[in-house]
A and B are shown apart, each in its own frame.
Chain A
Amino acid sequence: MNPGGGPELSPWERAVLAAEAFALAPVGCGIVVRGRPGPVRDAWLRRLAAALPRAAPFRRIPASIADDRLIGGLDIPATLKAGRPVAEKGLIAETDGGVLVIAMAERLPAGVAARIAAALDEGEIALERDGMSMTSPARVGYVALDEGADDEEAPPPILIERSAYFVDLDAIAIRDADDGADDQDPGARTEARARFDAMPEDEAAMKALVGVAASLGIASLRAPIYALRCARALAALEGEDAIGRRHISLAAALCLAHRATRLPGADDEDDEPPPDNPEDDPPPPEEQEIQQLEDVVLDAAEAAIPLELLARLKAGAGARARAAVQGKAGDSQISTRRGRPIGTRPGHPREGRIALVATLRAAAPWQPLRRREAGPGDARRIHVSPDDLRIVLHHEKRGATTIFVVDASGSLAMHRLAEVKGAIELLLADCYVRRDSVALVAFRGKDAEVVLPPTRSTARARRRLAGLPGGGGTPLARGLDVAALLATQVRRTGQTPFIVLMTDGNANVGRDGEGGRPKAFEDALDASRKLFAARVAALAIDTSPPSRLRDSAQTLKIAEAMGADYIKLPIADSARVNAAVRLSAQRLQG
């Protein structure tokens, strides 16, 4: 299938074309490159660098970059030397006129992404730090190197939103990735740039791309704007003076396909009226032509939707999967509570990190006096005495993450599951008040899964909970294992995990996924002991019906093995459940 009418492109050719189009006009947008580090990615980056103007900076920034390097601040060595404040530019400003290369973009904190985004949108970067105030030009674009292993790992949404292009290098073999050393000369690119700037307005292209974006369920209007820019760049690269149909199709494939949240025609009727008039009288010929064009372009975009995204969209889950990715990036930013500097105090660097700016400020008023005292023989520009030393204070508060481990098996009959859900909702409300994070692990059938990674959005937790299916065996051990793993991860981010287990204790599927009650229970006990050894605080809520004494006894045993508090749901009303959780949580924090 080749709806564009041009020659069929291999994945590598397509990736290179995206690089060329991006390099022609990179300012204010970006390109996401998915793929592991390796020769293919290196070859692609070389092609991109070659396509950029000669003098354009091409700077790599690490995901963990701190504000003083990213945005700039007080240049301490220069300040000390000069005896007056000297500002230092950050990486964004230094890259003006070029491209930022963001390594491991999937690990980029949302805050850093937001700072880069501000520069992209404004074409300049404002520095308001350390007593400095200045604005520097920052006409930059970026390459986000996404090494995420799965869908849950993706660059922050702020960055995704400004990514005009998406390139997947994972499926490309090394032998296909050529360096293209004998490529066109730089003069041709300069000409292409001039043609790009002079390209006339093209209403048909605009309408087609906006229409296609709407058909694919792309909410953001940045997408069609970028696609239009891409079509223009493609035309300019080919030596054309106006956008052709082929360029529009290709632009849709390069810029729109990966943003699709639904397949065209899936449920157009419910969401919005179809782009053209459904009345009987035929639209004017001009409109017809645009409609025709739109269909062709839509085909091209559809053909370019990445396979796994296509599969998800077909399952009707596109939007949800994206939402999961979006939430995650934001949460990790907000939960980075560890060591937030909140101020400074006098102290010795032995006791903490020295706060240079504050130290300088403390020393500043004394300078003339000290200079006079030291006499003319002293060549020091700034006289700092031990009294001036300031150290950074950190905010020590650690947040808690409540991990709900929910039994969604068949033994927990449907109406009981509804009760459990109700109880969790109450607990969620409490978490909301305390501003805790929540996570959700569910086990049923043969395995357990993290239904919701730690988030502060209780609304999302509730949505996930409502959509939780029930039925199947009770792999309690797997559930506890997954919870233990999650608890370790939570701890690594500096948060304190707290597990709330809700089960009827009726384990009948072991760790290996095989049935058999005695083995399953043994495994569950073992998993519980591991949690105890890992010193994860827990609360077990027994949801077995009052008539099933055996199950109750089992849940109690599990709770004991975990060192968890134990309460029984039918007896405990919601208020008491809440009180128990609060008590456990308090003990944990105090």
Chain B
Amino acid sequence: MRQPYPFSAIVGQDEMKLAFLIAAVDPSIGGILAFGDRGTGKSTAVRALAALLPKIKAVEGCPYNCEPSSTAGLCRACGDEGGKKPKATLKPAPVVDLPLGATEDRVVGALNLERALAHGEKSFQPGLLAQANRGFLYIDECNLLEDHLVDLLLDVAASGINVVEREGLSVRHPARFVLIGSGNPEEGELRPQLLDRFGLAVEVRTPQDVPSRIEVVKRRDAYDRDPDAFLEQWAPAEKKLCARIVAARAHLASVATPDAIVESATRLCLKLGSDGLRGELTLIRAARALASLDKKHEIHEQQLKRIAPMALSHRLRRNPLDETGSSARVQRAVEEVLG
């Protein structure tokens, strides 16, 4: 497989890039939904993210990428080591593609057919959810995915644990991942209860000004013609960005959350009438991740303002007949609450 297009070389699309970076810093944000026009580089950005992410330390040979230093949330095999320190290895953070047409047995995992047929052994073959543990799971055109698969994914994404009860197997394994869904609203809308499960939602548009459009075409062309030279040219920028993610992760826990900010977030959510507490939580967490990326010691209103549209616009109790862009509604509320 050829090297993906570099993340830093993506022209514009600041919202989408920011959302990805935030999730890279704090995966507990929940999933990201990137909805919008075709040919805007949604898939490109996801592939780019895979190459950008810092490598993870994992137990060697573990199909679930268990973290060696942690004691909780290990898979059964790694947990059973009996105090022995498992061997660790560095590997790329998983960014797993869920292709359309994938069957349920490959998504959740199923009886290992080969072992069963050849040796009569009942063993579990982990699926894509296992591969995605501690990383990202990407679904392109997620509105075309079968409903029952989407439900299943969201359920696992929310709980962080994949429970398989089929074919006489009973397996539980950790499956903590950030779900990234992309799609085009013209292909069909997403169910509201599904929308709400995504932490951040960004609308992706084609850049409208001619100079940036030329820049997009130019870079794409350069990449297509000589990927190696192009990657080399962007390597320093990529390295810097990767270092920024690493630093932001380390710094995250020490970012303070002033009471005034929590209050503003709550007022904002009340104003918009967003259901439940998920909105507030995501808003605060994402703002904290952004503050950490910006090397701040506490969350400022500035971060809250920047995050509010992507954290809240998809949570508004939707009037299907009102087309006033929900981002505009969030913007208005932000102005009223935060001034």
Contact = CB atoms under 8 A, between A and B. Distances in A.
Contacts of B1: 124, 135
A84 B118 contact: yes
B218 interface: yes
Interface stretch (B54-62, B182-190, B274-282, B305-313): B182-190
A206 B99 contact: no
A222 interface: yes
Contact of A161 (B39, B114, B121): B39
Most buried by B among A129, A330, A340: A330
Most buried by B among A85, A211, A357, A429: A85
B267 to A, nearest CB: 29
Contacts of B140: 114, 118
Nearest to B140: A118
B336 interface: no
Contacts of B77: none
B188 A361 contact: no
Given A129-B106, A157-B38, A221 B120 contact: no
Given A83-B117, A458-B320, A459-B320, A222 B214 contact: no
Interface in A113-144: 114-115, 118, 121, 123-133, 135
Contact of B217 (A219, A228, A368, A435): A228
Contact of A85 (B117, B128, B186, B216): B117
Contacts of B72: none
A111 interface: yes
A365 B221 contact: no
Contacts of B187: 110, 157-158, 330, 333-334
A365 B168 CA distance: 10
A369 B120 contact: yes
B221 A201 contact: yes
A361 B113 contact: yes
Interface in A211-254: 211, 213-214, 219-225, 228
A49 to B, nearest CB: 26
A272 interface: yes
Interface string A318-330: 0000010011001
A280 interface: no
A210 B319 CA distance: 38
A58 B184 CA distance: 30
A529 interface: no
A130 B120 contact: no
A222 B222 CA distance: 15
Contacts of A228: 217, 221
Interface string A13-57: 000000000000000000000000000000000000000000000
Contacts of B221: 201, 206, 225, 228
Contacts of A457: 186, 188-189
Contacts of B102: 128-129
Contacts of B121: 365
Contacts of B119: 368
Contact of B114 (A85, A127, A342): A85
A530 to B, nearest CB: 32
A71 interface: yes
A71 B99 contact: yes
A206 to B, nearest CB: 6
Interface string B210-238: 10011011101110010000000000000
Contacts of A513: none
Nearest to A202: B221
B2 interface: yes
Nearest to A198: B225
B144 A333 contact: yes
Contacts of B37: 219-220
B208 to A, nearest CB: 5
Contacts of B112: 131
A382 B184 CA distance: 46
Interface string A360-375: 1110111111000000
Report, nearest first, the 8 A-B pairs whose CB atoms are least far apart. Answer: A364-B116, A368-B120, A220-B39, A330-B187, A128-B102, A128-B106, A432-B320, A222-B39
21 contacts: A111-B101, A114-B100, A115-B100, A118-B140, A126-B99, A128-B106, A131-B125, A206-B217, A210-B217, A228-B221, A361-B113, A361-B116, A365-B111, A366-B120, A367-B118, A368-B120, A428-B320, A435-B191, A457-B188, A462-B321, A462-B323
